[in-house]
Structure 1
């Protein structure tokens, strides 16, 4: 006996005829969001007005001399632009000093040595990476899929989808997908 998975938009409840019509949305900040980022899905057609509704926002950090941590402020771009009176904000930004970016995945240990990430640990298993997926990582993902997907979603990283043939093959999840009645896309 086969099973069919029917998917719906979390926003409107409308049926998705094709999984390719669904857009994954990660909500990182919202007044009603209590325990970190969440993931919802919506039909692509439901999001057409999104660009028109979007606000031009600026996120800035205020580094006060007497504070240990910077204060983050989000405001509309027009309000921020009005702060510049000596020259237009575009010119102020163009001539401003660059800030070095820090990328968490490229963090270095003391002495400039890059630390290797152990994907065969519960802390990192299932994260996308270019290297070979070891048997140890596969086993962890097979045994702790739901826990790993919760962590990945909380970190805003793509989750491991049993309907995704590439994910199933990478982590050896064929049996689990079959046990859960998932049809591969």
Structure 2
């Protein structure tokens, strides 16, 4: 007995006649995306307007004094260019200092140097710290709250309490608190 797989575009529901017409789309960021990147498929013809709709974006890092990690901001190039009022942005960028990409031998931490903690890892997520809580840490806490709380308790550190408004806001746990029936006072 044979099997026949019928495929449809995730975008329009259109029947796919030929698998070679499918385009794999990885959605890395979207306001409705909760658990990391996802993959969808669409017919190539459905994506012809994508280039026309695409925005010229700039990704910048803000390294604020006292912050543990830089803040990543994505904005339209036109809006970013307007920030340069004395000189055109193209000129500012041409004259800017290059950022060196670290080579493996430079990434080793010298003896006695303080190692930076990556709070966007399961090993450190949820620990109390100064500075901004990154989106990556928030996502880890949302996805693995119980596991992280077990680790924190074992370490003798305060756990993340869904009844604590500050914790809920810091880690973006509003939906999880509602889901678990926790009301904030």
Give the TM-score of the pair, scaled to structure 2.
Answer: 0.54
For residues 131-178 of structure 1, what are the alpha-carbon distances to aligned partners after superposition, in whole Å with 9 as ceiling and x for unaligned? xxxxxxxxxxxxxxxxxxxxxxxxxxxxxxxxxxxxxxxxxxxxxxxx
Superposed displacement of residue 61, structure 1 = 0.6
Match of 2:142 in 1: none
Give structure 1 regions of 4+ aligned residues with deviation exceeding 2 angstroms.
Answer: 100-103, 106-111
Instruction: Give the 3 Å change call, closer, same or farther, for CA 20–89 of structure 1 in structure 2.
Output: same
Instruction: Give the 3 Å change call, closer, same or farther, for CA 31–49 of structure 1 in structure 2.
Output: same
Superposed displacement of residue 39, structure 1 = 0.3
Match of 1:26 in 2: 26
Q: What CA distance in whole angstroms lies between the structure 2 residues aligned with 1:16 and 1:9?
A: 7
Match of 1:41 in 2: 41
Instruction: Give the 3 Å change call, closer, same or farther, for CA 100–4 of structure 1 in structure 2.
Output: farther
Local SS of the residue matching 1:2 = coil
Comparing 91-100 with 11-20, greater Cα deviation is found at 91-100
Match of 2:55 in 1: 55
Local SS of the residue matching 2:8 = coil
Match of 1:71 in 2: 71
Question: Which structure 2 residues correspond to residues 119-130 of structure 1 after superposition, within 5 A?
Answer: none
Structure 2: gaps (5+ residues): 110-185
Superposed displacement of residue 2, structure 1 = 1.7
Q: What CA distance in whole angstroms lies between the structure 1 residues aligned with 2:5 and 2:62?
A: 48
Instruction: Give the 3 Å change call, closer, same or farther, for CA 5–33 of structure 1 in structure 2.
Output: same
Give the TM-score of the pair, scaled to structure 1.
Answer: 0.54
Q: What CA distance in whole angstroms lies between the structure 1 residues aligned with 2:18 and 2:49?
A: 21
Aligned Cα root-mean-square deviation (Å): 2.3
Structure 1: gaps (5+ residues): 112-185
Superposed displacement of residue 110, structure 1 = 3.8
Match of 1:17 in 2: 17
Q: What CA distance in whole angstroms lies between the structure 2 residues aligned with 1:40 and 1:107?
A: 39
